[in-house]
Amino acid sequence: MSVSQPYDEKKILLQISGGDTGAFQELMRLYKDKVFTAAIHIMRDHERAEDSVQDIFMKVWLHRRELSRIENFGGWLHTVTHNTLISALKRLAREKRQALPSEMDLPAKERTIEDLLAQKEYAALLKRAVDSLSDRQRQVFQLVKEDGLSREEAARHLDISLDTVKFHLTEAVRKIRAYILKNADISLVILLILKNF
């Protein structure tokens, strides 16, 4: 995954490693369109693609201290993007009992240590955020965002109205973002991500 315009990759990665959110905003500006294109190609759904893009850039930021040691950021980001999207697609397919084409599987040897660490850290943070929700908000969030149900399916499953599902989902997402802002100390980064998508 590469960008069309030249930029000082080593410099910007070093700045991000030091917590420079302005440099991270520039990195997102350079790569977000390509990441979204990959996401929509695999997820085939605009909303799920946007969620995946946010997850991907969150992982990049959470792993920022290691970025200065990465020799080929474009290749590394491609791996993070591919792994994240395939994991999301597999989860969705598993929940809906659909077969995932074997050619989309990513060989284990292509999974980098950086990606595994980023995934683990992000997953733990997200789990704590979800656990902080009210019971109903957590149910709705898990059904829609984790299990892959549509809002209509979640409404039927919980025997509540579609509007109620939308309300609880909106509140759940808002509270999860607030939790991340508070506990990961990346408020500016998250705001930038949400602003760009």
The SS3 assignment for 160 reads coil
> Whole-model pTM?
0.51
CB-based contacts of 113, cutoff 8 Å, min separation 6: none
Q: What is the pLDDT of residues 109-161, one digit of tens each?
A: 444 544 455 556 667 777 888 899 999 999 999 898 888 889 899 999 999 99
| 165: pLDDT strictly greater than 80 | yes
Q: What is the dihedral of CA 32, 78, 58, 96, to 10 degrees?
A: 100
* The amino acid at 36: F
pLDDT of residue 33: 92
Question: What is the per-residue pLDDT across 2-14, written as a single tens digit (0 to 9) for each?
Answer: 444 446 888 999 9
pLDDT band with cut points at 50, 70 and 90 for residue 99: very low
Give 3-state DSSP helix, strand, coil % of the chain, rounded to 5.
80, 0, 20
Per-residue burial over 127-165, b = 16 or more CB atoms within 10 Å of its CB, e = otherwise: eebbeebeebbbbbbebbbebbbebeebbeebebeeeeb
pLDDT level of residue 108 (50, 70, 90 thresholds): very low
Given pLDDT bands bounded at 50, 70 and 90, which one contains residue 196? very low
Q: What average pLDDT does the chain have?
A: 77
Percent with pLDDT over 90 in the chain: 27
